[in-house]
Amino acid sequence: MTVKFSELGLGDKVTDAVTAAGYTKPTDIQAQAIPHVLEKKDLIGIAQTGTGKTASFVLPMLTLLEKGRARARMPRTLILEPTRELAAQVHENFEKYGKNHRLTVALLIGGVSFEDQNKKLDRGADVLIATPGRMLDHFERGRLLLTGVDILVIDEADRMLDMGFIPDIERICSLLPPRRQTLFFSATMPPEIQKLTQRFLRDPVKVEVARQNSTAETIDQKLLKVGKTPAEKRAALRDQIRAAKDMQNAIIFCNRKRDVATVARSLERHGFNAGALHGDMDQKSRMDTLDRFRTGSLAILVASDVAARGLDIPAVSHVFNFDVPTHAEDYVHRIGRTGRAGRSGSAITLVGPSEGKYVDAITSLIGRQIDWIDAPATRAPVREDKQDDKPQKSRAAEKPRPEESRKPRPEKRRHTSDNDTEPATFGADGHIPAFLLRSVGKRA
């Protein structure tokens, strides 16, 4: 039997806003979680990405907040997010579904001036959405009181705890009223993280709509063996993008922020419409890049894991893992950017010689094997250069000189390892100058 939003106990204002947005049937996580939240129960909600976890707490919170008003610097509810982008996305959900309410929503994230945020807090915030660090900054400045918080939401709970936010979360919880409602939502909940929830929640209801760490069946997952050098990886990535069928847009994930910028520049130089998203960018640049990707003016987004968790970009057709994620759970979140809401998607992971162990951890986590695909036709070796991947066309035009015409280059003296057979540098080849062998006499 299919449940409708109108049957979940939500307020009329919320139901009308959801209907106006074009939704009539809730997802599984929404259908199971919303009634418990409305009953003011603590809850752990587990569902794979793209299933609508955000609305699972936003919609019932709007209903619960219909009565009462916030006082200056005393928010009524608090939502903690691991990244600025996720916080901004939740803010958009409150604006979308709360359009029939007169609620004040404050967003406390880095990259925005304290003065603008203080003005929002001074007017009174019914809903406070924040990253832990910026929220504690406001508290320490005396601009925020947390004694009036009735509902605490920790979104992407495993990521919040895994990213080192445990001390901040513990402190924040100690500042909140003990009799509050606490909600945990996440795509994964490892056992060691679940133990920590016992310190934050009281007799929680556990809602799990999919096997933990599962991936959507609508995603076509593939692995590709690549060379060990970054240039070979970038060349293989370009080949896969060119060969991709029905590609509308794509997110490319790198493990390191510096690689994000390098890969984005490389793709741009080869004629791809690509942009970068990583944690070192200022907030305005990050939001502008995301907006361009959402609206289609940017076709390829190269990102660090800051973009892997919960970002609602529903029509992503392809995901490429330039690096195999070192944490297997991140694989689930990365490829979850495609194949959302029943759509089909494709995820291709480039695997270097030293990354096999990470692939083994991923297949063990998701409980299935991932097929390998063959690389394109053999290409000429890819050279590293300071120009960062000059187009292959210019290299192919170069005519190699005959072997006999090449003059040997003089050997450069360098430091050697234990496996080197070349003469070692001074002091490492066994020869000791005579002046070092002279005995040192005693001074008179």
pLDDT tens for 367-383 read 899 999 975 544 444 44
CB atoms within 10 A of CB 68: 11
Report whether 77 contacts 66 (CB < 8 A): no
Please report which confidence band the pLDDT of residue 234 belongs to, taking 50, 70 and 90 as the band edges. Answer: very high
Report whether 310 contacts 334 (CB < 8 A): no
Please report which confidence band the pLDDT of residue 70 belongs to, taking 50, 70 and 90 as the band edges. Answer: confident
* E strands in 192-284: 205-208, 219-225, 250-253, 274-277
CA distance 444 to 441: 9
| pTM of model > 0.85 | no
Q: Is the pLDDT of residue 418 over 50?
A: no
Dump pLDDT digits (tens) for 336-363: 889 876 788 999 999 999 999 999 999 9
Report whether 216 contacts 28 (CB < 8 A): no
For range 121-146, the mean pLDDT = 94
Q: Is the pLDDT of residue 287 over 90?
A: no
Stated as kind and residue range, the H or E segment containing 105 is strand 105-108
CA distance 140 to 143: 8
CA distances 331 to 305, 356, 382, Å, are: 10, 14, 28
Dump pLDDT digits (tens) for 294-308: 899 999 999 988 655
Q: What does the pLDDT read at residue 412? A: 42
Domain ranges of the chain: 5-208, 219-387
Q: Is the pLDDT of residue 421 over 70?
A: no
Residue 201 has, within 13 A of its CA and on its CB side, a CA count of 23
Class of domain 5-208: alpha beta
127, two tokens: 């809903």
Report whether 65 contacts 77 (CB < 8 A): yes
For range 426-437, the mean pLDDT = 50
Tell me which architecture the domain covering 219-387 has in CATH. Answer: 3-Layer(aba) Sandwich (3.40)
Average model confidence (pLDDT) for the chain?
Answer: 82
CA distance 340 to 314: 6
Q: What does the pLDDT read at residue 393? A: 44
Which has more confidence, 426 or 210?
210
CB atoms within 10 A of CB 404: 5
Say which residues have a Cβ less than 8 Å from residue 288's Cβ, sequence separation at least 6: none
In degrees, to the nearest 5, what angle opens at C-alpha 322 toward C-alphas 319 and 324? 95
DSSP conformation class of 6:
G
Domains 5-208 and 219-387 share a fold: yes
CA distance 296 to 138: 36
196, two tokens: 């920590």
Q: What does the pLDDT read at residue 433? A: 55
Say which residues have a Cβ less than 8 Å from residue 318's Cβ, sequence separation at least 6: 244, 247, 248, 249, 250, 251, 338, 345, 346, 347, 348
Q: Is the pLDDT of residue 44 over 60?
A: yes
CA distance 95 to 348: 35
Q: What does the pLDDT read at residue 377? A: 44
305, two tokens: 């894991």
Dump pLDDT digits (tens) for 3-38: 899 999 999 999 999 999 888 899 899 999 999 999
CA distance 286 to 181: 33
CA distance 321 to 332: 11
Please report which confidence band the pLDDT of residue 328 belongs to, taking 50, 70 and 90 as the band edges. Answer: confident
